[in-house]
Structure 1
């Protein structure tokens, strides 16, 4: 009985991992590839030359991936034919290229612009720029306590997810048949989907932290969290970055991590604020986690993302400690809960936008200056050429401290420096 269940489970996983399902979903959503059809050559599920940067599944695992067998039939369905595109069709290339890998992707056709923009927005909900906007806005304008606890969950979620990727080592769905609408993360492993993880952990953690603390209905909060999560998860399949199995795994994995960390968030937050040894513990623990993540596999962009999240967590945690010690951390009293949104007025909107624009400008300038200073300094320190940033950042001794230094300063600025600036200029 147990053997049959295990066999059924494995078969189901193999089925959900098949890239042909991704290709069919893309076709239904109006995405069509421009792969050249070569019937005289056997289709191994790989359209790009072998590269040390792009990790491919070997021939023995391509059956599981679904790139072998009758994948050619699906490719024929999604391949651009000789006919001219219709009026409603748009030729496009991936919106973001990866400056570290040089991967720019291949042109594809969009037949449904609404879904293209919807899922592009959905996938951006898991990208760096969104969190640079989301966490500060939440911290400066709505609820600092919720924001700093979300950062803890986000950092740990990315660390666990990216480290799992480097241990499982599954590459992205084969292309063809899959159309790579996005290529920025194409050099990373894909199991589990960390976009699905953050896109699930952040909205549900936000819901769990704010329900009862703020006045709103359970159905409204749960619906927003679920819609956010589903949009991010489905967008990763649409982008051709993940199989259905990888997205489902990321969704469930993040719920497991959230179930573990949510009861500990208050304890962690209090430790960050009150313990005199907190800064030392924060730095040592986060740097140690980064070293573990960087030792799991050879270079990939996922290692930098892990260090970036951990670095942001370091800066935000130390900023929390500094704010508390200086008496600048003014969380509302428990007696004032639940909180209610104040009446929306022009002055409130103007002040919120002013804080947000000034604060984000400070953070972006800080990030830009720190990047410009840190990488050349580290290259000189370790005797590496400074004229090739891409090559230099593939060295652990450059990438790890660079990410930690830059994003710890960014996190500290968000939590401590910018609010102090607001207080000085009466914008708090």
Structure 2
């Protein structure tokens, strides 16, 4: 027993080793910029490392992380990319777990593909991300050390690393879509399985490539997401039916999500994970409430069994044009709604809780401001995506 436990510990230590992350980065063409801005014309000296030894030096063009953290002001370190193809593939893959993707993908799916599947995937996404963020704050394992790891991204650097919530969402979203569309839509199952595998693999690998997670963080995130799916997927129909039909569902949804947010904010000191958690809970509550209103008004109703399975329409210029028009129109509405509520909610929260708002960045790091601001703002965004925008489509005849 002792030998087995020791073996597992050695395996975990090995998978958590930051040098493995650094070697993977080097294998993919990522190298550290050693001399900063001393070289002319934006050049810097780089060196290849293996087990801490320098293998050679030469001048290369330098880069910086694409996104800085607006709340911490962290800019990140300079680095060199030798394989631009891998860099852009993994940069795109890591975006599959960021806000821009969520605020684009979920609305597009709801407006143009299948709102019934969309709202159920959001339920899974909320639980996966919430449990993942809370687990991070309970375990409190740091991200891979830098050096030797090169941080290609710094936006989430203040969060803990275990488990990788990017890996969790990158696993849960494609698998839940596959499970929910199988039998509901007519398509080759193997194609869907392959797409889910590629999606999941790229997101998981991208987090190691970006230097944000150890191999153990990613594996744990993947397995954790699968466990949550096993638990929640069988109850999904029951949850969805409650959200749609129960008279007081909106009140319970809002209260439950808010209570979950308050609990998560008490787990640890400030980091970007707290705001992300409130944002996710607000979005989930808004979409669930929007689904309830749709059901009450007879909008976006689920098809009867005799209309299933759906047959994917043939691609045409008209179809793509209509989908693009709906998406662009809807996103503009959501962005305006988001900006408006954000503009109102931050000063309002500061005023209610007596917090100075002359320094917005500092004020947003207070629980009394960040929780209501994020929760309310993204609650309206979720409600807008599920009800307001589809209602406007119906009103103007774009459905």
Given the alignment, which residue of 134, 137, 144 partners 2:108? Answer: 137
- Give unmatched runs, 5+ long, in structure 2: 37-48
Distance in 1 (CA, whole Å) between partners of 2:221 and 2:27 is 23
Distance in 1 (CA, whole Å) between partners of 2:128 and 2:354 is 34
Question: What TM-score results when the alignment is normalised by the length of structure 2?
Answer: 0.95
Identify the range of structure 1 (171-180 vs 341-350) with the bigger mean alpha-carbon deviation: 341-350
Kindly state the Cα deviation for residue 296 of structure 1 after the two structures are TM-superposed. 0.5
Does structure 1 conserve the Cα–Cα contact (< 8 Å) formed by 2:69 and 2:155? yes
Counterpart of 1:199 in 2: which secondary structure?
Answer: helix
Given the alignment, which residue of 225, 229, 232 partners 1:261? Answer: 232
Could you tell me which residue of structure 2 aligns to residue 276 of structure 1?
247
Kindly state the Cα deviation for residue 74 of structure 1 after the two structures are TM-superposed. 3.4
Which ranges of 4 or more aligned residues in structure 1 deviate by more than 4 Å?
none
Could you tell me which residue of structure 1 aligns to residue 59 of structure 2?
84
Kindly state the Cα deviation for residue 328 of structure 1 after the two structures are TM-superposed. 1.1
Could you tell me which residue of structure 1 aligns to residue 358 of structure 2?
387
Alignment: residue pair count: 387
- Please give the per-residue CA displacement for 1:49-68, whole angstroms capped at 9, x wherever unaligned: xxxxxxxxxxxxxxxxxxxx
Distance in 2 (CA, whole Å) between partners of 1:322 and 1:232 is 34
Distance in 2 (CA, whole Å) between partners of 1:6 and 1:415 is 49
- Please give the per-residue CA displacement for 1:365-408, whole angstroms capped at 9, x wherever unaligned: 11111111111121122222222111101111101111110000
Q: How does 1:35-114 map to 2 (within 5 A)?
A: 35=34, 74-77=51-54, 81=57, 83-85=58-60, 90-114=61-85
Is 2:281 the partner of 1:310?
A: yes
Distance in 1 (CA, whole Å) between partners of 2:327 and 2:245 is 28
Kindly state the Cα deviation for residue 264 of structure 1 after the two structures are TM-superposed. 0.9
Could you tell me which residue of structure 1 aligns to residue 11 of structure 2?
12
- Please give the per-residue CA displacement for 1:226-269, whole angstroms capped at 9, x wherever unaligned: 10000000000000000000000000000000111111111111
Could you tell me which residue of structure 1 aligns to residue 28 of structure 2?
29
Could you tell me which residue of structure 2 aligns to residue 3 of structure 1?
2
Quick one: structure 1 residues 166 and 36, their matched pair in 2 at CA, closer, same or farther if it must change by over 3 Å? Answer: farther
Does structure 1 conserve the Cα–Cα contact (< 8 Å) formed by 2:23 and 2:50? no
Given the alignment, which residue of 359, 369, 391 partners 2:340? Answer: 369
